[in-house]
A = this chain, B = another copy of it.
Amino acid sequence: MAFQLTDTFIDDLRTALAAGNEDAVRGYFHGLHPADAAEILNSLDTDETVKAYGLLEDEVAAEALLLLEDDRREEVLEGLSPKEIAEQVIDNLDSDDAAYVLAELPDAQQDEILQHVEDLDQASDIVDLLNFDPDTAGGLMGKETVRVHIDKTVREAVREIRRQAEEVEIVYTIYVVDEDEKLVGLLSLKSLLTKPLNSPVREVCNPNVISVRTHTPVEEVAKLMDKYDLVVIPVTDSLGRLVGRITFDDVVDLIREENTEDVQKMGGVEALEEPYMSTPFWRMIRKRVGWLVVLFVGETLTATALSFFDDKIQKAVILAVFMPLIISSGGNSGSQATSLIIRALALGEITIRDWVTIVKKEFKSGLVLGLILGIIGFLRIAIWSNFVDDYGPYWLQIGLTLGITLTFVVLWGCLAGSLLPLFLKRLGLDPAVSSAPFVATLVDVTGLLIYFSISVALLDGTLL
Contacts and interface: CB of A to CB of B under 8 A. Distances in A.
A327 B325 contact: no
B444 A340 contact: no
A397 to B, nearest CB: 17
A357 B277 contact: yes
Given A320-B306, A338-B267, A325 B299 contact: yes
Contacts of A293: 372-373, 376
A295 B210 contact: no
A193 B158 contact: yes
Question: Which of A166, A248, A264, A325 has most B Cβ within 10 Å?
Answer: A325
A328 B441 contact: yes
A313 B320 CA distance: 8
B296 A364 contact: no
A343 B260 contact: yes
B227 A341 contact: no
Given A277-B350, A288-B365, A336-B269, A343 B376 contact: no
Contacts of A388: 307
A138 interface: no
Contacts of A338: 267
Classify the secondary structure of A's interface with B: helix
Interface residues of A, number: 115
A252 interface: yes
A68 interface: no
A341 B255 CA distance: 19
Contact of A324 (B269, B306, B318, B329): B306
A194 interface: yes
A276 B306 contact: no
Contact of A436 (B31, B158, B193, B437): B437
B291 A210 contact: no
A281 B226 contact: no
Given A2-B224, A335-B436, A325 B340 contact: no
A323 B293 CA distance: 17
A210 B267 CA distance: 37
Interface-central residue, A252, A343, A444, by most chain B CB under 10 Å: A343
A103 interface: no
Nearest to A34: B228
A171 B227 CA distance: 20
A342 B82 CA distance: 40
A369 B285 CA distance: 7
Contacts of A269: 336, 339-340
A292 interface: yes
A219 interface: no
A142 interface: no
Contacts of A275: 344, 347, 349
A153 interface: no
A190 B210 contact: no
B324 A302 contact: yes
A329 B299 contact: yes
Given A158-B193, A277-B349, A321 B310 contact: yes
A140 interface: no
Contacts of A208: 31, 33
A332 B306 CA distance: 20
Contacts of A410: 292
Nearest to A332: B437
B194 A339 contact: no
A226 B376 CA distance: 47
Interface of A: 1-2, 31, 33, 35, 39, 158, 161-162, 165-166, 168-171, 188-190, 193-194, 208, 210-211, 224, 226-229, 231, 248-249, 252, 255-256, 259-260, 262-264, 266-269, 272, 275-277, 281, 284-285, 288-289, 291-293, 295-297, 299-300, 302-303, 306-307, 310, 313-314, 317-318, 320-325, 327-329, 331-333, 335-336, 338-344, 347, 349-350, 354, 357, 361, 364-365, 368-369, 372-373, 376-377, 380, 388, 390, 410, 435-437, 440-441, 444, 448
12 contacts: A33-B228, A248-B248, A267-B436, A276-B340, A284-B365, A292-B372, A295-B328, A296-B376, A320-B320, A323-B324, A436-B437, A440-B440
